[in-house]
Structure 1
């Protein structure tokens, strides 16, 4: 007689064999259901699958363009210096998400072209340009796709061509290629004025183009100034001021007027400089651009000092101190106090100078700006020294008994405390 459970081992083995047969049958069925395409997805690389997919669906132009970009990427990296940032970049063909995005939007653009929906085709290319702008190492891809938009000649696509040029101007400016940026921006202004379009984000294209063009003229003017060509810079700054005025952007118009004022000051044309600086002050005051207003105030104060109008200089700097304090413009407040201290020092008004410089030093300490703190320390020490020397010189030249007493007291104090931090201070 079998004991309870004596048949369980045999039953268990039969169950295992049945499960094994079912598993093999399921595997065979799964293998039979896989197509060649499914198997290829596992065997081939992602690059191969994307390219084959484009060809299988008839997107031959998209395949050719993607293949071209992959080749250009390889050539760029191979031509770069060893261990440079470019040579160490991950190859595009290994960045699967980016390749899939390119394939997807290019195929959509090609399908839109087949259907005669040209604006939709260029929208896809603008999308790709924007997508790769966010990646610093992929700006070359953005340039490629934006350039393909500028070729648009079909009806309803001029807005896309104009926006493409606006994007190119901004990218070239970002890369410091100012001549290319200027070329694209000037063409963009012409095209935008004809259409008056809005870009994909709803911004006015004429205004956007002029804002970029003003920035380009400004950068080119800076280059001329560094090259020792102030009059060439003035010509560019005038173009920039006109462009800024036409943009109806008061912020850059105020900045453009400020830059012209500084340029005319640098060539000694104080009257014209004052004209543009006052214009900048008026615009910044109207728009409540207090940072720009602070810069304009300092520039006009410096101009008045150069012309010998010291009282006006002091009034302007004191007004700037009040504005900076009320608007919490700490850096402008420090600069205004230091400038005011220097003016008072030059006028030998040493007590007022030390008061202004000390105020600037305290504010610099409060905001924790080490550079401003050091600058204020030097100015404050210089003013204090001039104050001591000035009083000492006056006593040396004086015949009043009190002056002689101060000199004798200082001599005694210097002898007693020559190793002290307070040596030589006495009444001076």
Structure 2
């Protein structure tokens, strides 16, 4: 019987991967390539970078301001955070202030302060005073939440009350904003002060506020509202002479602004005030003028209210004339 000869296969199942072949001389082995890739992705953290993970954001921003040479910005930043802490500690335990999130736990607000304060200080170094005020106006407008009103007023004042730059467009807008705030708070004297300064500074500037509204017109409308509210309090106290003086001033300003709706209301208010003071003849004249303005504006509601008061003035004037000897 013939022996069965089994053919031996010298080739393996998987192809051989040469390890020392010359064709690898121009390339880089995978292990080495991976080590180099790892070297690029692995970085040794500096002491400052490590500190960022350990320190609070407040501390990191403080260090950054100092390292970059913004010492005034650091002082103001630190002072404001300390001021807030003092306000919280002094507040009544049941006060809403105790429930508010502290500034140091609000990254967006801390970063806004750092950014605008440092930019303002940088502008101050080169004497760009309008730019200084612009940065302070911007950071004031950033703090729009009701609980940040104290911060908003701080930055508005730091913008408008400057010896250098205090009459610039941004500073004038800051005064307009403060006039609105103090009016809302019922502080009519401070509102008058800010609005009158805004009116004086914007008188010849032709400036617009951040929303595109003329600053002069804004000051005129605010002043009229302030004078009207102050006059109402004087009328309630029967101080007619002082009240009429304020109403005439407000009427003059709003008429100058060419705000016809405001002019009609200001004229109506004067008629009402003269009626309360007992001068029905003068009241009748102002009320008649207000009706003409409302009629041109096609303001039916204004026309009706002015007509009702006008009728009363006519009746009372007629009555006083018949009572004369």
| Alignment TM class, shorter chain as reference | 0.7 to 0.9
Alignment-derived partner of residue 72 in structure 2: 61
Superposed, 1:58-207 pairs within 5 Å as 58-132=69-143, 134-154=144-164, 158-207=168-217
Residues 232 and 52 of structure 1, relative CA distance in 2, 3 Å threshold: same
Residues 87 and 254 of structure 1, relative CA distance in 2, 3 Å threshold: farther
Asked if 1:46 corresponds to 2:57, the answer is yes
Q: TM-score, normalised by structure 1?
A: 0.61
The worse-fitting range, judged by mean Cα deviation, of 90-99 and 154-163 is: 154-163
Alignment-derived partner of residue 44 in structure 2: 33
The structure with more helix, counted as a fraction of residues: 1
Q: Contact 1:152 / 1:158 at 8 angstroms: preserved in 2?
A: no
Distance 2:297 2:315 in 1: 27
- The offset of 1:115, in angstroms, is 3.5
Q: TM-score, normalised by structure 2?
A: 0.78
Residues 75 and 298 of structure 1, relative CA distance in 2, 3 Å threshold: farther
Alignment-derived partner of residue 322 in structure 2: none
- The offset of 1:82, in angstroms, is 3.0
Higher RCO (CA < 8 A, seq sep 6+) = 2
- The offset of 1:63, in angstroms, is 1.0
Alignment-derived partner of residue 241 in structure 1: 251
Distance 2:165 2:118 in 1: 21
Unaligned runs of 5+ in 1: 1-21, 310-428
Distance 2:240 2:93 in 1: 40
Distance 2:104 2:245 in 1: 47
Q: Contact 2:275 / 2:313 at 8 angstroms: preserved in 1?
A: yes
Report the number of matched residues.
Answer: 285
Residues 154 and 307 of structure 1, relative CA distance in 2, 3 Å threshold: closer
- The offset of 1:308, in angstroms, is 6.7
Q: Contact 1:122 / 1:157 at 8 angstroms: preserved in 2?
A: no
1:263-300 Cα distance to aligned partner (Å, 9 max, x none) = 11112221111111122222222223333233223322
- The offset of 1:156, in angstroms, is 9.9
Match of 1:278 among 278, 288, 312: 288
Distance 2:244 2:174 in 1: 30
Unaligned runs of 5+ in 2: 1-33, 320-325
Alignment-derived partner of residue 315 in structure 1: none
Q: Contact 2:240 / 2:277 at 8 angstroms: preserved in 1?
A: yes
The worse-fitting range, judged by mean Cα deviation, of 197-206 and 100-109 is: 197-206
